[in-house]
Chain A
Amino acid sequence: MITVAIEAASAVPVFEQLRSQIEVAIRTGALEAGQSLPTIRQLAADLAIAPNTVGRAYKELERSGLIRTARRRGTIVADLHADPILERRARLADAAERYAAEASRIGASLDEAIEALRTRATSTRAGPVSRPVGLSGGNKAASSELLRSLPPALSAQVAISPLL
């Protein structure tokens, strides 16, 4: 039987003790892919700790991709060697489910939710702002001088770099 033990006197936070022990059990294969983990309430009751503490450990493990929440089976161990495409789809579906639930909870319409997602995805993909680069024939000081001579609206959009 795979067990976890919590030391109340330890300096390590309880949620971290729990998270690290479950992670070891998953990475060593003691807990197999697809195996159900106890519910948050059950584990909290058995360990006599707050459900929030178990919830935090589970959230961290989920963020690391070690466990995932399946609709009917509760929290299960994720397949670390799964087909990456299928795994990506499953995680995307889970994330979409959470997003849809949150959007519904705050009363956003489907169009609003999609638009917000599109805006967010565009800004995330764009990464840091890239600016067109102009090459100047002079040295660094001459390039800076050239940049200063440009109209402010233009100088904010381009970068001038010395050719040599």
Chain B
Amino acid sequence: MSGEFLWQAGLVSLVALAVLWRGFRRPVEEDLRRWATRFGPVLDADTRPLITWFLHRGRRLRAAGAAAGLVVTGAPLYVNLIDPARSPDFAGPLSGMAWIIGAALGAAVAEISFVQRSLRAGTAALQRRRWDHYVSRRPVLYVGSVISLALAGAMLGLLAEVGQRTEVLAAAGAALAAGALLVIGLWHIVRRPRLAVEERWRVVDDALRADGANRVVGASAAMASAAASEAVWQILREVAPAAGLLISFMLFTVGLGLWWALSRDVVWRTKVEYAVT
């Protein structure tokens, strides 16, 4: 058993456990206050339990996804613990980014599996909901652009036979998955039933949707950026390795930064003009 591999595998396991521990922690008062400041609902005895439950549930699913992704990322190390002679390069393409894919899928699952029931049956607002009520169009445009870049890069790589075929195909697959995650996630967030039409619950409802939409767009931005980063690297690694590395790194960093900002920092007020009777 190699000491180096043992150290690395132990570190990956520790990080995965830390992610799980933090993710399964119940939101504290500070988390709730911060979230309310970002999205605008009033925290009171009625709304607090629902918001706490929603935040805790989403956090658990995202953490589980990220931890699973970390385990996949660390799989070569675990295998090398058993078989030190085996090269760690046996892992498939993008396996190093499995933690991103896992966390992104966790974010999508948290939204798609969220079954919201109306608190006041038989009432509805005559207001059409659209995805851009809940998230800025700019990051969505960014996701669309990087998906196009990743797919164009993959196509170029396949046609010109540049780069490693499996990596290029994996980048295209990840880009398509990011697109699917974005479309399905936003569709579900817009479509699920409204909590209630009273002003207080309307704001909570909008906030839950806005939080979900920002997380889904952030996750798909990270995933699409990782895909584009890989595609660009595969295209440029032989013709211009320095430029390829730089662009690839920048794409990857921008994707992660956007994910972080949308998930944790963005302040959003739902842009729906509610007509008043």
Contact in complex: B192, A35 (CB < 8 Å): no
Q: Is B197 an interface residue (CB 8 A)?
A: yes
Q: Is A133 an interface residue (CB 8 A)?
A: no
Q: Is B128 an interface residue (CB 8 A)?
A: yes
Q: Is B276 an interface residue (CB 8 A)?
A: yes
CB within 8 A of B126: which of A4, A7, A41, A48? A4
Residues of A within 8 A of B194 (CB): 46
Q: How many A-B residue contacts, CB cutoff 8 Å?
A: 73
Residues of B within 8 A of A32 (CB): 275
CB within 8 A of A2: which of B118, B190, B191, B277? B277
Q: Per-position contact with A for B263-277: 1 when CB-CB < 8 Å, else 0?
A: 000000000001111
A42/B123 contact (C-beta < 8 A), A1-B275, A30-B275 known: no
A48/B202 contact (C-beta < 8 A), A1-B274, A2-B125, A6-B122 known: no
Contact in complex: A48, B125 (CB < 8 Å): no
Contact in complex: A39, B128 (CB < 8 Å): yes
Interface size bucket, A side? 20 to 34
Contact in complex: A47, B191 (CB < 8 Å): no
How many whole Å from B60's CB to the nearest CB in chain A? 26
CB within 8 A of B122: which of A1, A7, A45? A7
Interface size on B, residues (CB 8 A): 22
Residues of B within 8 A of A45 (CB): 191-193
Residues of B within 8 A of A35 (CB): 275
Residues of B within 8 A of A43 (CB): 124, 126
CA distance A41 to B118 in the complex (A): 15
How many whole Å from B51's CB to the nearest CB in chain A? 20
Contact in complex: A48, B128 (CB < 8 Å): no
CA distance A36 to B192 in the complex (A): 18
Contact in complex: A38, B118 (CB < 8 Å): no
Q: Is B113 an interface residue (CB 8 A)?
A: no
A3/B122 contact (C-beta < 8 A), A31-B275, A35-B275, A45-B191 known: no
Q: Per-position contact with A for B237-259: 1 when CB-CB < 8 Å, else 0?
A: 00000000000000000000000
A1/B191 contact (C-beta < 8 A), A42-B129, A46-B118 known: no
Residues of A within 8 A of B277 (CB): 1-3, 25, 30
Contact in complex: B275, A5 (CB < 8 Å): no
Residues of A within 8 A of B127 (CB): 1-2, 38
CA distance A25 to B124 in the complex (A): 14
Residue of A nearest to B123 (CB): A5
CA distance A45 to B117 in the complex (A): 9
CB within 8 A of A3: which of B118, B124, B129, B192? B124
How many whole Å from B111's CB to the nearest CB in chain A? 15
Contact in complex: A47, B128 (CB < 8 Å): no
Contact in complex: B128, A25 (CB < 8 Å): no
Contact in complex: B128, A3 (CB < 8 Å): no
- Which A1-58 residues have C-beta < 8 A from chain B? 1-8, 22, 25, 30-32, 35-39, 41-43, 45-48
CA distance A32 to B190 in the complex (A): 23
CA distance A127 to B153 in the complex (A): 66
Q: Per-position contact with A for B102-130: 1 when CB-CB < 8 Å, else 0?
A: 00000000000000001001111111110
Question: A residues within 8 Å of B by Cβ?
Answer: 1-8, 22, 25, 30-32, 35-39, 41-43, 45-48, 74
Question: B residues within 8 Å of A by Cβ?
Answer: 118, 121-129, 190-194, 197, 199, 202, 274-277
A-B contacts, 30 of them at CB < 8 A, read A1-B274, A1-B275, A1-B276, A2-B125, A2-B275, A2-B276, A2-B277, A3-B124, A3-B125, A3-B277, A5-B122, A22-B126, A25-B126, A30-B275, A30-B277, A31-B275, A32-B275, A35-B275, A38-B129, A42-B129, A45-B191, A45-B192, A45-B193, A46-B118, A46-B123, A47-B122, A48-B118, A48-B122, A48-B193, A74-B128
Closest 6 CB pairs of A and B: A46-B124, A1-B274, A36-B128, A6-B122, A45-B193, A2-B126
